């Protein structure tokens, strides 16, 4: 099969297309024919991280990188009960030794993946899991909900764009912080107010919030203390977390109901993965970057 391989940490040029053996599912695994994947900020970080350092942080170094995927079940192991050939699935490669920048991927039945809603395409589903699960997790940690005033810093990014949608659907009053060029986008996602960070520092404003979610990982609890209610909560993507299947299933249900949708900035083919990584590394993307896998 065709896959993107990376033998050493470094620049996007280290991501190279190659022909590698197609994986064969074990009795408790399914073989997924990948149709789409993505490039996240985490993918960029992992690409540049030496393997020894990755292991120290509890990460699994991979010669084939990539974290999110959407595709179709091509084959199942003898003991698989929940999935069948032809099922459309999406999820992450959390804990796996192979990433998603490939034509095929083996995933254990109890892995972080589930069925794609019937109304959703592969390219819509692929960039959902990482950002939406993170947004859900941290909004829950902040106890966002009806009547709460929630501020999302980095509201036009992947995690932030989902956070605005999820917080709004929960009944919260949502303020989104973004650049001038992204204010219209954030408003369209449901934000009640949008703060242009090029004109105003929200930490110096008069309004206080019950939850401040730093989806961009660019501020601190100390800096935001003045605009946080006395019993308010500050949450940030800088905090490490473990994914779980319950979060993904909740996100799937939100996707099926139309409560959330992916903001897609650009799409690339798999053989242009280096270009996709360069674009994400520039730090100017809106929402998500999708990578389409074309099978030979």
pTM to 2 decimal places: 0.95
Q: Is the pLDDT of residue 59 over 80?
A: no
Q: Do 139 and 198 belong together in one domain?
A: yes
48 contacts 10 by C-beta, under 8 angstroms: yes
Q: Do 61 and 117 belong together in one domain?
A: yes
Q: Do 103 and 147 belong together in one domain?
A: no
164 contacts 187 by C-beta, under 8 angstroms: no
Residue 65 lies in a domain: yes
* Rounded Cα–Cα distance for residues 245 and 192 (Å): 31
What percentage of the chain carries pLDDT values higher than 70? 98
Q: Average pLDDT in the 143-171 region?
A: 98
Handedness of CA 119, 103, 90, 255 (dihedral sign): negative
Residue 288 lies in a domain: yes
The reported pLDDT for the residue numbered 284 is 86
Supply the range of the domain harboring residue 161.
131-236
235 contacts 211 by C-beta, under 8 angstroms: yes
The predicted-structure confidence for 90-122, as pLDDT tens digits, reads as follows: 999 999 999 999 999 999 999 999 999 999 999
Q: Do 57 and 146 belong together in one domain?
A: no
Q: Do 100 and 68 belong together in one domain?
A: yes
Q: Do 179 and 231 belong together in one domain?
A: yes
Q: Do 279 and 230 belong together in one domain?
A: no
Q: Do 119 and 216 belong together in one domain?
A: no
Find the CATH number of the domain harbouring 158: 3.40.50.720
Kindly tell me the burial class for residue 173, based on how many C-beta atoms sit within 10 Å of its own C-beta (0-12, 13-18, 19 or more): middle
CA dihedral 121, 124, 125, 130 (to 10 degrees): 180
Number of domains forming the structure of the chain: 2
Residue 247 lies in a domain: no
Q: Do 27 and 122 belong together in one domain?
A: yes
192: closest CA among 167, 216, 210? 167
């Amino acid at each position: 099969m065709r896959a993107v391989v990376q033998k050493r940490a470094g620049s996007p040029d280290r991501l190279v297309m190659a022909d590698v053996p197609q994986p064969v599912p074990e009795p408790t695994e399914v073989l997924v024919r990948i149709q789409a994947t993505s490039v996240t900020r985490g993918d960029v970080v992992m690409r540049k991280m030496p393997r020894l350092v990755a292991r120290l942080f509890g990460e699994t170094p991979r010669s084939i990188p990539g974290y999110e995927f959407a595709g179709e079940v091509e084959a199942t192991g003898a003991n698989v009960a929940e999935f069948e050939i032809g099922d459309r699935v999406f999820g992450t490669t959390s804990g796996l030794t192979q990433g998603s920048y490939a034509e095929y991927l083996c995933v254990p039945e109890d892995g972080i993946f589930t069925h794609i809603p019937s109304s959703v395409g592969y390219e819509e589903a692929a960039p959902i899991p990482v950002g939406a699960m993170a947004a859900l997790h941290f909004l829950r940690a902040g106890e966002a909900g009806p009547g709460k005033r929630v501020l999302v810093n980095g509201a036009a990014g992947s995690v932030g764009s989902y956070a605005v949608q999820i917080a709004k659907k929960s009944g919260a009053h949502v303020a989104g912080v973004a650049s001038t060029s992204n204010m219209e986008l954030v408003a369209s996602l449901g934000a009640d107010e949008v703060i242009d960070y090029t004109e105003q520092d929200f930490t110096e404003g008069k309004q206080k919030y019950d939850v401040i979610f730093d989806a961009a990982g660019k501020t601190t609890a100390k800096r935001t203390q003045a605009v946080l209610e006395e019993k308010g909560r500050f949450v940030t993507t800088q905090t490490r977390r473990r994914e779980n299947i319950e979060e993904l299933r909740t996100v799937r249900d939100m996707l099926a109901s139309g409560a959330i949708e992916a903001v897609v900035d650009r799409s690339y083919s798999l053989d242009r993965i280096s270009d996709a990584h360069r674009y994400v590394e520039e730090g100017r993307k809106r929402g998500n970057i999708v990578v389409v896998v074309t099978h030979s």
